[in-house]
Amino acid sequence: METTQEKARVDVRIEPLRGLPLALEVVGGIGRTLGLTLLWGLEIVRDAYFRRLDRFNVRPRHKRASAFPPGQPKKQRTTAPR
């Protein structure tokens, strides 16, 4: 038992942006561009910093670093199930 359904035809209309929506799109694009430029600039500074450390032969710390602070861990409170 085959059923064939035809898809309804959809008319697509492209309307040009005008006024406030156009201004918001332009400002959003400029903001994204400036944000990426800032990130790329910070990446360049970070790379230069680490290259300088390599050039001065600065080695990483000898003591192993830990993600946990020193001392006794705090006791975890458990909440009663509702």
Alpha carbons 64 and 61: distance in angstroms, whole number: 7
Between 65 and 71, whose confidence is greater?
A: 71
In degrees rounded to 5, what are phi and psi of residue 79?
Answer: -95, 145
Nearest to 25 by CA among 17, 16, 33, 15: 17
Given pLDDT bands bounded at 50, 70 and 90, which one contains residue 59?
Answer: confident
pTM beyond cutoff 0.75 = no
Domain spans, the chain: 17-60
In degrees rounded to 5, what are phi and psi of residue 46?
Answer: -65, -45
- Model confidence over 18-51: pLDDT tens digits? 999 999 999 999 999 999 999 999 999 999 999 9
Q: What is the mean pLDDT of the chain?
A: 87
Residue whose structure tokens are 């001392």:
71
pLDDT at residue number 67? 80
